[in-house]
Structure 1
Amino acid sequence: MKRAKVKSLEALNRQTLKARINIIISIIFFLCLILIFRLGYLQIVQGDEYQEEIENAQYVEINQSVPRGEIYDRNGNLLVGNESRPAIYFTRHRNMNNSEIMDVAEQLSEYIHMDVDMISLRDKQDFVINHYHDEVASLMSDEYTLLQDGNISRADFNEEFYNRADEGFVDELLSEEDLNILGIYVEMVNAPELNPAIIKNEGVTEEEFASVNAALDDLEGISTGMDWERYYPYDSTLKVIFGEVSSPDEGVPRELLEEYLAQGYSRNDRVGKTYLERQYEDVLRGEKEQVKYSTDKSGRIIDQETVESGEPGDDLYLTIDIELQLELEGLAEHHLMSLRELAEDVNARDAVTGEIDYTIIPEHLDTVLLVVQDPNNGDVLAMVGKQIDQDGDIVDFHYGTLTSTFVPGSSIKGATIVTGYQEDVLDPGEVLLDEPLRFSGDNPRTSFFNRDSKIPIDDQEALMVSSNVYMYKVALRLAGIEYEEGMSLPHDITGAGQKLRNGFSQFGLGVSTGIDLPNEALGLSPDFGQYPANNYLSLSIGQYDTYSALQLSQYVSTIATGGKRMEHSLAKEVRGSNMNEDGPVLKTFNPTVLNNVNISEEEWQQVHDGFYDVFNTHDQSTDRYGTGWDAYHELEPKAAGKTGTAETYKDGDGVFNQTYLGYAPYDDPDMAFSVIFPNMPYTIPFFPAQYFGADVVNKFYELKYGHEAEAPFDYDVGWFYPQLEYGDY
């Protein structure tokens, strides 16, 4: 008998291990098979459903009305702020039809009351069609029968109803409740999907706000929150310059739509529309809240999560000094009304006595413009415009300082002198004869201070007494011509005209000042026309091209600083929003030099001395006065500047534009100003508007350095009338 073969213990262990491994592999294979079947099921059978869920959970930037950045003056005084107000919002879910929206409107109408004055006739007609079937059928019985029989379409039926149902018909049918529902519906139906739209944000009462809050679970898509609107602590002061923001209903204005959409805005975003609000939209706008919405298969919102909170806009600090602005506005109103009254008094007195032979139309005297700036850095400290309207009331015209241009007269003669230096046709201190210029076939051209004599004067005195003839001779030299009595005027002054205008542009005349505002007017620089030489000579004394108060301020500031033309600026810095405290400085707008007017120190000294003499000098040897001596010679600190008077027309009547430009202190200026009084009475001598400029200087140093307050100049007809009559003024 054979002996049985017995396996060793080691062999048995190997066999057991192998069996266990096979079992584990089988289990893993089985699990993988289950996983494959499960993935297949999810992808093939339920893939569309899960894809829809993914698509329905998405990030959306919503227009949840984050507060706009505020605007402050240079000293931290609030100029444009935000006023919070309660608001009712509606978020339209995907695929929500108009009938569902109407249902929500009917529910919401139980809690809030709408302003229904702006509901259109078409909206009322649509409401009647959908809710007053019997009345519509009665009005349009024949058409209704045709509609029922299928002989006309619903669109044709509705169109006929629109033509037939007038305002009286629909108003008689609609109750107050109907109109309230319709007012809500109109606001809701145009709401974009998944983006809260304001239903009511004006006049929301505490009771309305509380009752809607209590019923939110039953009001699909309705929510409550806070909205804001701009408010202006200083009322109308500079309001136009600050600009406008679009309303929640308006969104991005149509004319700006492409510009803002290209920057990533939505159509219903509130944006800056004009002036500073538009210029600094990127600073003031803030960051909208970003929300993740989840919707079900029907498109209804089932969940939302705030991914990024909205951030208010940054705050903009301006160069404007609001205290100075308000004080100068008061002075402007005083001088404008006083001058109008003076014109009326002189006119009335002359109607009785007939002692003067001037035509004075007080109604033409209706505007004053003023700019005050720091000449060293271009900061605009105040910009004032005032007008008298047809009712005799004072209204703001601040934007006129940059949008309206006028012929300035002799105030630009400093630029003519400098251009002569630069073109090497005039030496500093050069003496020329001021004499009547007699050209062939032309009337004599003279200076106001000298009608018939030959008076030798240099460039400094030419500025002091405002010699027209000196400027004419410089202009002729720019054209390569020396004056000779009886000579003919040149026909081709194209090159000389360009030289003169180029010289003016160095000072900011006829070009942009760089002001950070849209709509700046550059002024008119017309062709020299049928009489080119005559018009060219007129240009040299400020009687041809037109400039704004802002340009004239930059011009005189460039002279004040010895040729450094600074870019005008209203923005001083940007600060982060920090509730009621000054936020951190995020950006500073540094002064920018646009160009330098290059002449020698000796030449600059001649110009500065001439401007000083205009305000301060009475030459006793000749008994000649600077043209601004009356108003300015007693100022402390001493100022320098230039006056100008230009002949022009208003409504066919001859008038004068008067300009007064200056800076102070004359030897180390920290302020400069430009004043324009257009349409002044056409009289020789002129109405004394230059006292406004003196009051501006006094007020500046009163506010900045605590100088003693000076009463504004008082225009007294008893004092002024004899001077007007006898020509002493």
Structure 2
Amino acid sequence: MKRAKTKSLEEINRQTLKSRINLVLIVIFSLCLLLILRLGYLQIVQGDEYQEEIENAQYVEINQSVPRGEIYDRNGNLLVGNESRPAIYFTRHRNMNTSQIMDVASELSNYIQMDVESISLRDKQDFIINNYPDETSSLMSDETTLLEDGNISRSEFNEEFYNRADEEFVDSILSDEDLNTLGIYVEMANAPELNPVVIKNEDVTEEEFASVNSALEELEGISTGMDWDRYYPYDDTLKTIFGEVSSPDEGLPRELLEDYLSRGYSRNDRVGKTYLEYQYEDVLQGEKEQVKYSTDKSGRIINQETVESGKPGDDLYLSIDIELQLELEELAEHHLTSLRQLAEEITERDEVTGDIDYTIIPEYLDTVLLAVQDPENGDVLAMVGKQINDEGEIVDYHYGTLTSTFVPGSSTKAATIITGYQEDVLEAGEVMLDEPLNFSGDNNPRTSFFNRDSQIPIDDQEALMVSSNVYMYKTALRIAGMEYTDNMSLPHDITEAGQILRNGMNQFGLGVSTGIDLPNEATGLSPDFGQYPASNYLYLSIGQYDTYSALQLSQYVSTIATRGKRMELNLAKEVRGSDTNEEGPVLKSFNPTVLNTVDISEEEWDQVQNGFYDVFNTHDQSTDRYGTGWDAFHELELKAAGKTGTAETFKDGTDVFNQTYLGYAPYDDPDMAFSVIFPNMPYTIPFFPAQYFGADVINKFYELEYGHEEEEPFNYDTDWFYQQLEYGEY
């Protein structure tokens, strides 16, 4: 029998060790394989994603603000510039908490002084809660116990402290140093990460600027640089028209936030808020500097690099002539204050004599508006508004030329006549009787101012010269399909005729946008014709119903001056590249735009323009009839043409007049047109002589543009005018 072979103990141990080694190797191999697969997955599948996250954690591109483009007048005079000033900035690094910000603010307070007047009570209260626990507890002893016992929350505790800690309490605790630190902290606290914000840019002294510069290594996130602000070489002249720019603290204005965010702006960008600054934001804003920040793992900035240099905004050149603007403002103030004084002196005299029957309230005479333009291309040369406020001070009201509208009176009668031509109800030179018009249901006849009780044949030209109401009424009736007969009934439905007449006004820019490159233009009121539609329709035909602005009236008279070419009004003439030493290259020109053409025959235009000439220049000796503007305009060196208007209206229940004066010069080749509005003038006959302002405007234009001899502005003589009021003559 054969004996079985057995393994030795040593052999068994060796085999066991070998098996264990193989097992460990298999495990190591498997782990290595898993690691390789995982690394491959991370590199191949998710490599781009993680690489992007790493880069974003290290580098952030931000936009630095640059100075806005400047604004100049048509002759290259600076109207709105940039004033450079030293500034202290703060850039918040990533993960920077409020405690760290407070530490920086506390350190920075050793170097600069802040204006602390605007610090809110809430900010002061929060500062005390965080920095003066003993004083807080002394005021809130019961609440402190409740808070420590967990019976009230921290927010409830704070809310009660806000209610109890008044200005007197907080001011008794906070030192000047506390307030200065708090003033800095408030500016820093809401800073977005890695986006520089201004801490102080007003009244930064040389000493402050230098001391901060020398301590930058100790002041985390603090830097120095230059900021800018708008300045106005001509002070408040046209400042409202130029518009506003938001402050560094304000950033994007709340009311324009969505608009600007949709255009790619950041919330802390300084932008145009109103008028030209807003209208031409894309021109004036410029291209912001791009800076790349490097941060460490904790989010602290370790380096910064300028990726792309910023570029100041482009410069905007306007149609405005600032020299003309300033001279006309002075004239406007002279006439407004002189007419107010005339009203005051007449009122004082009548209180003694009691010999006039007019109610004159001098305080109502408080506004004048003027627009001057080139009729050929729509350039606005000057826009003047002046008001006398409740304290008797004269203040600018330039924006009123486009935002305020008034019933103009007879100055718009040419539009009625021209609509009659276009509707084939009136022929050039056609004669009608100016006579009292009697309508069924009317208590009083409707008449013209120059003719109360006679039958006078006049044509369209003379109807403009003497401002015939009756000629316009009869034309309006024809547009409505009716011929005047004595005691006739007025139509009940004038819907179609009213629209035709308003369309006739619209073609001159009355009641519609002038196209002016400014926001917030008022187009006027065109109310429903109401309970008495036909009567109100007739009032519309003589300028006594709808309302228009000074700019609309200027465009209207310019359209007549050019024989029907309505030009879009514009303030911007050119965009030029920014150049600190000289005028930059022209990047864009704003070419004149014809909005529409008023189509009538040459013969019809002759009648209208001759009528406008007669308004200013003609005294018909055979009839002893004068143009309504003859007194003020007939002696001008260069003959002008135009139209006057007087609209009856009310102010606080008192009868007043809106007086308007429109014109252009020279009458045969005009290069200027103007409109003047004096609202709420005394309701007197003769009218207050405000038309002399229009004559002075023409004289001043030709003095500045062509070197004509300077003319003294019209001086009002109270004795002369009072006598005319007393006897009712003019």
TM-score class, shorter: over 0.9
Percent identity at matched positions? Answer: 83
* Aligned-partner Cα distance in 1 for 2:201–2:215: 18
Q: Amino acid of the residue matched to residue 100 of structure 1? A: Q
* Aligned-partner Cα distance in 1 for 2:166–2:354: 65
Q: Counterpart in 2 of 1:439?
A: 439
Q: Counterpart in 1 of 2:18?
A: none
SS in 2 for 1:317: strand
| Contact 1:56–1:293, Cα closer than 8 Å, also in 2 | no
| Contact 2:241–2:275, Cα closer than 8 Å, also in 1 | yes
| CA positional deviation for 1:183 | 0.8
Q: Counterpart in 1 of 2:263?
A: 263
Residues 5-84 of structure 1 aligned to structure 2 (within 5 Å): 53-62=54-63, 64-84=64-84
SS in 2 for 1:184: helix
Q: Counterpart in 1 of 2:614?
A: 613
Q: What is the CA deviation profile of residues 107-136 of structure 1, one whole-angstrom value per residue up to 9, with x for unaligned ones?
A: 111101111111111111111111112222
Q: Counterpart in 2 of 1:477?
A: 478
SS in 1 for 2:297: coil
* Aligned-partner Cα distance in 2 for 1:430–1:134: 96
Q: Counterpart in 1 of 2:715?
A: 714
* Aligned-partner Cα distance in 2 for 1:402–1:307: 44
Q: Counterpart in 1 of 2:587?
A: 586
| CA positional deviation for 1:727 | 2.9
Q: 1:533 to 1:172 in 2, by over 3 A?
A: same
Q: Amino acid of the residue matched to residue 454 of structure 1? A: Q
Q: Counterpart in 2 of 1:26?
A: none
TM-score, normalised via structure 1 length: 0.93
| Contact 1:549–1:675, Cα closer than 8 Å, also in 2 | yes
Q: Counterpart in 1 of 2:171?
A: 171
Q: What is the CA deviation profile of residues 184-236 of structure 1, one whole-angstrom value per residue up to 9, with x for unaligned ones?
A: 11111110000001011111100000000000011110000011111111111
| Contact 1:317–1:574, Cα closer than 8 Å, also in 2 | yes
Q: Amino acid of the residue matched to residue 422 of structure 1? A: Q
| Contact 1:61–1:288, Cα closer than 8 Å, also in 2 | no
Residues 540-619 of structure 1 aligned to structure 2 (within 5 Å): 540-619=541-620
| CA positional deviation for 1:728 | 2.8
| CA positional deviation for 1:270 | 0.6
* Aligned-partner Cα distance in 2 for 1:574–1:659: 35
| Contact 2:405–2:524, Cα closer than 8 Å, also in 1 | yes
| Contact 2:511–2:548, Cα closer than 8 Å, also in 1 | yes
| Contact 1:88–1:224, Cα closer than 8 Å, also in 2 | yes
* Aligned-partner Cα distance in 2 for 1:657–1:151: 72
| CA positional deviation for 1:169 | 1.8
Q: 1:51 to 1:503 in 2, by over 3 A?
A: closer
| CA positional deviation for 1:684 | 1.3
Q: What is the CA deviation profile of residues 357-395 of structure 1, one whole-angstrom value per residue up to 9, with x for unaligned ones?
A: 222111111111000000000000000011111111111
What are structure 1's unaligned runs of at least 5 residues?
1-32
Residues 329-728 of structure 1 aligned to structure 2 (within 5 Å): 329-442=329-442, 443-728=444-729
Coordinate RMSD, CA, aligned: 1.8
* Aligned-partner Cα distance in 2 for 1:202–1:665: 51
Q: Counterpart in 1 of 2:113?
A: 113
* Aligned-partner Cα distance in 2 for 1:608–1:50: 77
SS in 2 for 1:68: coil
* Aligned-partner Cα distance in 1 for 2:277–2:725: 47
Q: Counterpart in 1 of 2:158?
A: 158
| CA positional deviation for 1:49 | 8.8
Q: Counterpart in 1 of 2:307?
A: 307
| Contact 2:58–2:296, Cα closer than 8 Å, also in 1 | no
SS in 2 for 1:534: helix
Q: Amino acid of the residue matched to residue 59 of structure 2? A: Q
* Aligned-partner Cα distance in 1 for 2:303–2:286: 26
Q: 1:539 to 1:42 in 2, by over 3 A?
A: closer
SS in 2 for 1:157: helix
* Aligned-partner Cα distance in 2 for 1:391–1:165: 40
| CA positional deviation for 1:41 | 12
| CA positional deviation for 1:43 | 5.1
* Aligned-partner Cα distance in 2 for 1:225–1:65: 12
Q: What is the CA deviation profile of residues 382-437 of structure 1, one whole-angstrom value per residue up to 9, with x for unaligned ones?
A: 00011111111111111110110000000000101100000000000000000000
Q: What is the CA deviation profile of residues 603-654 of structure 1, one whole-angstrom value per residue up to 9, with x for unaligned ones?
A: 0000000000000011111111100000001112100000000000011100
| CA positional deviation for 1:139 | 2.4
| CA positional deviation for 1:142 | 2.8
* Aligned-partner Cα distance in 1 for 2:157–2:433: 90
| CA positional deviation for 1:154 | 2.3
Residues 79-118 of structure 1 aligned to structure 2 (within 5 Å): 79-118=79-118
Q: Amino acid of the residue matched to residue 267 of structure 1? A: R
| Contact 1:618–1:629, Cα closer than 8 Å, also in 2 | yes
* Aligned-partner Cα distance in 1 for 2:537–2:166: 65
Decide which moves more: 454-463 or 284-293: 284-293
| CA positional deviation for 1:161 | 2.1
SS in 1 for 2:551: helix
Q: What is the CA deviation profile of residues 526-564 of structure 1, one whole-angstrom value per residue up to 9, with x for unaligned ones?
A: 111111111111100000101000000000000000000
Q: Counterpart in 2 of 1:11?
A: none
| CA positional deviation for 1:683 | 0.6
What are structure 2's unaligned runs of at least 5 residues?
1-32
SS in 1 for 2:499: helix
Q: What is the CA deviation profile of residues 683-723 of structure 1, one whole-angstrom value per residue up to 9, with x for unaligned ones?
A: 11111100000000000000000001000001011222222
| Contact 2:89–2:197, Cα closer than 8 Å, also in 1 | yes
| Contact 1:564–1:595, Cα closer than 8 Å, also in 2 | yes
SS in 1 for 2:381: strand
| CA positional deviation for 1:73 | 0.5
SS in 2 for 1:636: coil
| Contact 1:53–1:296, Cα closer than 8 Å, also in 2 | no
Q: Amino acid of the residue matched to residue 181 of structure 2? A: I
SS in 2 for 1:521: coil
| CA positional deviation for 1:726 | 2.3
SS in 1 for 2:412: helix
| CA positional deviation for 1:344 | 1.3
Q: How many residues align?
A: 694
* Aligned-partner Cα distance in 2 for 1:563–1:151: 83
Q: Counterpart in 2 of 1:16?
A: none
Q: Counterpart in 2 of 1:253?
A: 253
* Aligned-partner Cα distance in 2 for 1:81–1:681: 42
SS in 1 for 2:486: coil
TM-score, normalised via structure 2 length: 0.93
* Aligned-partner Cα distance in 1 for 2:193–2:154: 28
* Aligned-partner Cα distance in 1 for 2:52–2:642: 76
SS in 1 for 2:160: helix
